[in-house]
Amino acid sequence: MKYSVVVFPSSHVQEVANSYRKRYDPTYALIPPYIRIKEAFDLDEEELPQLVDHLQQVANSTDAFSVRFHRVSTFHPTNNVIYLGIQNKEPFEAIHQKIMAYFKTQTEMYAYVPHLTIGRDLPDDELKDVVGQLSMAKFDLESKIDRFHLVYQLEDGIWTVYQTFLLRKDAANGV
């Protein structure tokens, strides 16, 4: 079965992202707006308990935090993806590294860049137009991150949550 590890931002951030995803992201109906922590991977069902244990350890050792989305960017020419950029990437990068320890020798297709996709698979000309328009828009969105999710893909392509992992409460930041 195919799995991934993701974070769903606050409902307000999801509403803003979906206002663009409806038009620019063909996966709009398959999964809510998310920040990928571990790209999709295949896993045998008998390995699932060990992965779940590892993810719980990651959650238990990670403080909740806030994230700010501040601009629109793209991965073009590598990928025709438009995304909301994250100002403070470090907490996501730390969780990513902890999770990747489980996968030891498995490498990911792309370098890890935390982001929130709002468009994908656009033709080059349309991508340039949309990025040009959106780069003039002001984005100042914030979301508290206090959990991540192990999700799996159903036969119809829809992703659903298998298990949610709560991060430690960060008393210093009130998260």
* CA 1 to each of CA 16, 21, 36, 90: distance values in angstroms, whole numbers, following the listed order: 31, 26, 18, 30
* Other beta carbons less than 10 A from residue 114's beta carbon: 20
Contact 149, 56 (CB under 8 A): no
Residue-level pLDDT at 109: 80
* Other beta carbons less than 10 A from residue 5's beta carbon: 25
User: What domains lie within the chain, and their CATH numbers?
Assistant: 2-166 (3.90.1140.10)
Q: What letter represents residue 23's amino acid?
A: R
Question: Mean pLDDT across the chain, nearest whole number?
Answer: 93
pTM (global) more than 0.75: yes
Q: Report pLDDT digits (tens) over 124-158.
A: 999 999 999 998 888 999 999 999 999 999 999 99
Q: What would the mean pLDDT of 71-99 be, rounded to a whole number?
A: 94
